[in-house]
Each structure stands twice: as structure tokens, then as C-alpha cells.
Amino acid sequence: MTCRTRFAPSPNGPLHLGHAYAAVVAHDVARARGGKFLLRIEDVDAARSRADLVPEILADLTWLGLEWDGVAALQSQRIASYAAAGERLKQMGLLYPCRCTRAEILAAARKAGADGPLYPGTCRGRGVDPAEVPGGAAWRLDMARAVELAGPLEWEDELAGWQHARPALFGDVVLLRKEAPASYHLAATLDDAADGVTLVTRGRDLFAASHVHRLLQALLGLPVPVWHHHDLLVEADGRKLAKRRGSPSLADLRRGGEDGRALADALRAHRFPAGISLGAGVEGGA
Ligand code: GLU
């Protein structure tokens, strides 16, 4: 089977070196296997996405010498497919509406303690009427029910090996949101299937999310890819690079006259700027 992998940036901030590294890894994996390198813009969350950054992202990749196959996919144009999948999960009795505010969720999680779930299921069985929730309800996956329905699942990371899926780590995740039509988990899983992605290449910061994605694939009858979670570029404190902590944007480097292809080659050779190395990325980065 031809390898099809992808780079899927969210246009809510300019790309930086960490993104460049991720794009180089995905691009090179595809090319080394005679496969396809796809580009997907994850702009499903209209409140956080900036349309003006999309042409910048395309220019950054071209500057790095990374050519993608076909046209870039935009999540904002695929909302109907997310809604349809959400409807299907609702009909399966796997989603329930939640009216908790961010503050309530934090307070409940604090009460559940460090070992408790991220969301203890406050609205499960509460019979929330979605029409009554100001701004619309968020729809959560009834994790216990979903896990029971799907049965034991496994997935393969080509670097870390086979994994037993442990989606329950996340508790009842939100799949449909008030402010965005679908959460990252639902949109990314559906898109990878729609695009025929056989290898999900992304950073290790999203390793745990793959437990949830594997579950969604089982629930929705989607094909199961292999994953490739690569190391992240981290700062001396182990945290992944972030624009807000001073990592220069690719757009700034590009406009400053830096050679993008030489930069991509340096990343391939693991020659990083001072203080930056590869790591797993400890909590606290963004
Ligand atoms: N959009 C995500 C990000 O920019 C990546 C999602 C993925 O590769 O699955 O971090």
C-alpha cells in the first residue's frame, strides 16, 4: 500500500522551528517510501484560527523546499462530515450534552484529584437539554460505554511499537463543541480516514490522543492507520518550542532572508540552534 502521510498545522499562530521539524519529518518519510505528503490546515475552530496565516503556512513550506501532493485540505470546508459523524455517535447513544462551564470543569477535576479523570462526568445522566444551554451544549463521549462497545483495541506506532488503547485516560472527551463544530479528536480522525492517510506522522505531544482516535475509528468503522510520533524540538528546560516564549516564526526568518532549504537540511541533520534539542516535550509547552 502506498504510504500517505500528512502535516496538519493549526493556523492559530505562526509556524516556528518545531513545526518546520515536524513538516520535514512527515515530508521525508513520505518521499523515502515513494508515498504521498499531504497538507491539512486544521482551522476547525473558527474562534482561534486566523485565515491570514494560511497563505503564510503555504509560503513557509515552499520556502523550506517541502512540496505537498494535491491541494491543501481545509477543515473549515469539511464541517458537514463532522456533523454527520457526530449525529451517528449520538444515535448510537454515545454522546451526551454538557453544560459545564470551564470553571465548573476545573473545580470538578480538582475534587477528583490528581489520579481522577480530566472530566468526572458531571453532566452524564443529568439530562441536560441542549436547547437550554446558552451558546449551545458541548457533546461529550460517554467513555465507559464507548470502550465497552468497542472492546479491547490496539494500535501501532512504528517507533514505539504496539500499544493497548487506553482512551479512558481522557475521561469523557468533548467531540462536538459550542464554539467549534468538532473537536480536534473527531475532526482529525475523520480527516485522516477521508484522505486515505496510512501513516499519521505527528509529534510525541499527541501520542496519548491516539488512544482516543483509535477508539473513534472503531466506533465509526474507519480504517486504522499506523502512527509515527516523532520527538519534539525542546528548549533547555525540556519544554517544546513556543512562539510566545520567543521562538522565531518561520515567516520572520523567511522575510529576513534566511535560506529555508538550508534550514530544512540542518533540521534533517539534527543541527539545531543553541539551547534547542530533541526530546519528548514535558508538560507546560504549547
Ligand atoms: N493541528 C495539530 C497541531 O498543530 C496537529 C494535529 C495532528 O497532527 O494530528 O498541533
pLDDT of residue 285: 37
Output the CA 257–ligand 1 centroid distance in Å.
28
- Render pLDDT for 50-105 as a digit per residue (tens, 0 to 9): 999 999 999 999 999 999 999 999 999 999 999 999 999 999 999 999 999 888 88
Please, are residues 102 and 67 in contact by the beta-carbon 8 Å criterion? no
CATH 2.30.40.10 fits 80-184, yes or no: no
Q: Positive or negative, the Cα torsion across 96, 97, 102, 103? A: negative
Alpha-carbon distance of 4 to 81, in angstroms, equals 21
E strand segments, 42-153: 73-74, 95-98, 138-141
Give SS3 for 94.
coil
pLDDT, mean of residues 107-124 = 82
Spatial contact of 201 and 33, defined as CB atoms under 8 Å apart: no
Is the alpha carbon torsion for 5, 84, 151, 137 positive or negative?
Answer: positive
- CA of 163 from ligand 1 middle (Å) equals 20
- Ligand 1 centroid to Cα of residue 178, in Å, is 20
Fold of 4-77+231-279: Rossmann fold (3.40.50)
The CB of 213 under 6 Å from ligand 1? The reply is: no
**pLDDT greater at residue 31 or residue 282:** 31
Q: What is the mean pLDDT of residues 162-186?
A: 91
Is the distance from CB of 60 to CB of 191 less than 8 angstroms? no
Mean pLDDT of the region 110-124: 81
What's the confidence (pLDDT) of residue 281? 85
* Tens digit of each residue's pLDDT (9 = 90 or more) over 260-272: 999 999 999 999 9
Is it the case that residue 223 has pLDDT exceeding 60? yes
For range 227-241, the mean pLDDT: 94
| pLDDT confidence of residue 124 | 93
Average pLDDT of the chain? 93
Of residues 1 and 162, more confidently modeled: 162
What pLDDT sits at residue 112?
Answer: 78
CB 8 less than 6 A from any atom of ligand 1: yes
- Give me ligand 1 centre to Cα 125, in Å: 32
pLDDT at 160 over 70: yes
Pocket test for ligand 1, best of 54, 206, 210, 240 (most atoms within 8 A of CB): 206
pLDDT for the residue numbered 177: 86
Residue extents of the structural domains in the chain: 4-77+231-279, 80-184
Residue 240 Cβ < 6 Å to ligand 1? no
> Ligand 1 mean position to 9 CA, how many Å?
5
Q: Say yes or no: CB of residue 142 within 6 Å of ligand 1.
A: no
**Ligand 1 contact, 171 CB (< 6 A):** no
* Per-residue confidence band for 110, with pLDDT thresholds at 50, 70 and 90: confident
Q: Which residues pair with 239 in a beta bridge?
A: 282
The stretch 196-202 carries a mean pLDDT of 98
286 has pLDDT over 50? no
Q: Which of 16, 41, 42, 226 to mutate to test the pocket of ligand 1 (most atoms within 8 A of CB)?
A: 42
What is the pLDDT, as a whole number, of residue 245? 76
pLDDT at 284: 44
Rounded to the nearest whole angstrom, what is the distance from the C-alpha of residue 106 to the centroid of ligand 1? 24
> CA–CA separation, 60 vs 47, rounded Å?
23
Beta strand 95-98 pairing with 161-164: unpaired
Per residue in 241-259, pLDDT (tens digit) is: 887 777 889 999 999 999 9
Q: Element (H or E) spanning 199, and its range?
A: strand 199-203
Mean pLDDT, rounded, for 232-236: 93
Ligand 1 in reach of 42 Cβ (< 6 A): yes
- Cα-based distances in Å from 170 to 39, 167, 179, 185: 27, 6, 20, 11
Q: Looking at residues 19-29, what average pLDDT do you find?
A: 98
Which amino acid appears at position 174 of this protein? V
Topology agreement, domain 4-77+231-279 and domain 80-184: yes
Average pLDDT, integer, range 117-129: 87
Contact between residue 282 and residue 239 where contact means Cβ atoms under 8 Å apart: yes
Ordered DSSP codes for 229-280: EE-EEE-TTSBBP-GGGTPPBHHHHHHTT--HHHHHHHHHTT---TT-EEE-
- What integer is the mean pLDDT of 190-203? 98
Binding site membership of 202 for ligand 1 (Cβ less than 6 Å): yes
Looking at residues 212-222, what average pLDDT do you find? 98
**Largest distance between two CA atoms of the chain:** 58
Confidence of residue 12 (pLDDT cuts 50, 70, 90): very high
